[in-house]
Each structure stands twice: as structure tokens, then as C-alpha cells.
Amino acid sequence: MVSAVVCQETQSARDFLRSLREEIQCHPGVGHSLLGRMLTDPRTRHDFKILASQHYPLVANFTTYMELLLLRAPSSEAKRWLAKVLVDEYGERSHGDDHAASYRAFMHAAGIAPGSEASYPLHPEVVGFIREHYRICTQEPFLVGLGAVGPGHEWSIPTMFEHVMTGLRKAGFAADDMTYWAMHLDQDADHGAWLEEALVAFCETPEAREQIRRGALLSLKAREQFWWGVLDKISSERTKAMLPGVAPATAGAEDTQPTYADLRQGLEIRVDLGAVSDIL
């Protein structure tokens, strides 16, 4: 029989998770104007090519954040959710194609030549997103990392991707081109549900809840900045196309921006596994 105290704690954990979900849904990183205005301010195929060139590094690094966090997880219970999601990321439910490969298929449909996916100059906010997530997953407490890759991603992606798919349909992409986006509506709904069950056990104390919420909000703050970066790239390309001969304010900025290939090459990551007493 479950005691009244345990029921109360579980209830209160569920209340916390419900309010966190609501907070995430209302966050400007999830409802950014670039996403929410796909019908009123439609985007072209070329705009999506730019979006894809900037978004690819986020897709390609996501599993590494989770693998690093897996190394630091304090118990097998904590590892279980991460491992289940990773198996999907490696292609379990996408015909053996990992999610980065599936994203590359979308990039090719958007006009990016196969083999050139990692050679686009990245906006500083794209680089900032990736560096911030490596920092969170290696230097912050484990639950802050779990908040970032857990609620910060799984509970926000279905809403963001619904908006993107609205824009892709409007721009004339076929259903086959949108496989990466569509599969996340289903898979992340599952990941989010598994996550909720896992988090109930982890958010028993106010300190633990604060860490999970902080991780989610750090991730979404970086996400909001990421979308501003993508919009900045799209706007400067439009200015160039509409006003030939007029240099946009950002002219020359790309000369010094790293590509994803440069960024990955220069990444050095240190992981502190913690004391043995933390896992006993």
C-alpha cells in the first residue's frame, strides 16, 4: 500500500512538472516570431535552406550532449531515460538512419549539396547554443543537464516543429522531404512522456526541482537566441537579394564565422565523473 506521504510527494512532483511544461510552452524560445508567423509571414525554400544550414549543428550535436550526460548520471535509474532516447536518436525507429542522417535528407531537399552540410558559416548565436549545451552537460550539476536535454528539448520540440512544418508545407516541400520533422512529433511525444515518469523520481526536493527548471530555462534562453540568429541570417540574405549593390550592416561578418566542421574540430571537452561516494 502506498503511504499518504508518498502520494503527496508524487502529487507535488506532478504539479511541479505540469507547471514546468506550461512555462516551457509559453517561453519565447518555443513561440519565437520566426516560428509563430509561418502563415502570416511565409518563408521561401531558400529561407529554409538557410535555416537548415544553421540548425544542422544542433541536430548533429544533440546525441553528444546526452552521451556526456550519460557518463555523469549518478545511477542506472538516471541513465535509463537517456539510454532509451539515445537508441531512438541512433535510428531505432527511423529505419536505421540516425537523426542527423535523416536531417541531411531534408537539407538536400532544401538545396544543400550532399557533402557540404558542415561547410556553412555559423551565426554566433548558433555557436553560442552549442557551447552553452556542452557547458551545461559537463559543468553544471547532473539535474541541470537533465533539465536542458530533457524538458528543455523534449517538451519544446513538438510545438516548435509543428510551426516549422506549417512553413515547410506553405513553401511547397513534399511530405517525404519533411520526414525528420514529422518523426519528431511522434518520437518526442513518447520521449516527453517517458521523461515525465523518470523525472517524478528526481524532483522530490525543492533543490532538485530548481536545478531541473534552471537547466530547462538555460536551454530555452539559448534556443531563443538561436532563432534570432537564424532570422538575422535570413534577413541579411534577403537584403542582399532585394538591394543588389547595397551592403547590409552584417556584410563581411561571415568571413570570420566558423563552419560546423571548424567548430567540431576545435571542440575540447572535459568531463568530471565525480566522486565514487556520489554513486554509492
Instruction: Return residues touching Fe ion (CB under 5 A).
Output: 99, 154, 188, 191
Shortest Cβ distance from residue 276 to Fe ion (Å)?
31
Nearer to Fe ion, 157 or 234 (CB): 157
Q: Give the burial class of 83: count Cβ atoms within 10 A of its Cβ; 0-12 exposed, 13-18 middle, 19 or more buried.
A: middle
Nearer to Fe ion, 68 or 234 (CB): 68
Nearer to Fe ion, 190 or 210 (CB): 190
Shortest Cβ distance from residue 18 to Fe ion (Å)?
20
Residue in this structure with the C-alpha cell 538591394, named with its chain if needed: 243
Nearer to Fe ion, 154 or 232 (CB): 154
Grid cell digits, residue 125 = 548565436
Spatial distance between the Cα atoms of 228 and 82, rounded to a whole number of angstroms: 29
Q: One-letter amino acid identity for 238? A: R
Shortest Cβ distance from residue 154 to Fe ion (Å)?
5
Spatial distance between the Cα atoms of 24 and 220, rounded to a whole number of angstroms: 8
Shortest Cβ distance from residue 94 to Fe ion (Å)?
9
| Radius of gyration for the alpha carbons in the chain, expressed in angstroms and rounded | 20
User: How many alpha carbons lie under 13 Å from residue 264 in its C-beta half-sphere?
Assistant: 14
Q: One-letter amino acid identity for 119? A: S
Please provide residue 247's backbone torsions phi and psi, each rounded to the nearest 5 degrees.
Answer: -80, 125
Kindly give, in sequence order, each residue whose CB lies less than 8 Å from that of residue 136, ignoring residues fewer than 6 positions away.
65, 144, 145, 148, 215, 218, 219
Residue in this structure with the C-alpha cell 540568429, named with its chain if needed: 229
Nearer to Fe ion, 16 or 155 (CB): 155
Shortest Cβ distance from residue 275 to Fe ion (Å)?
31
Shortest Cβ distance from residue 25 to Fe ion (Å)?
16
Nearer to Fe ion, 152 or 229 (CB): 152
Shortest Cβ distance from residue 127 to Fe ion (Å)?
21
Helix (H, G, I), strand (E, B) or coil at 205: coil
Q: One-letter amino acid identity for 64? A: T
179-261-152 Cα angle (round to 5): 55
Nearer to Fe ion, 132 or 154 (CB): 154
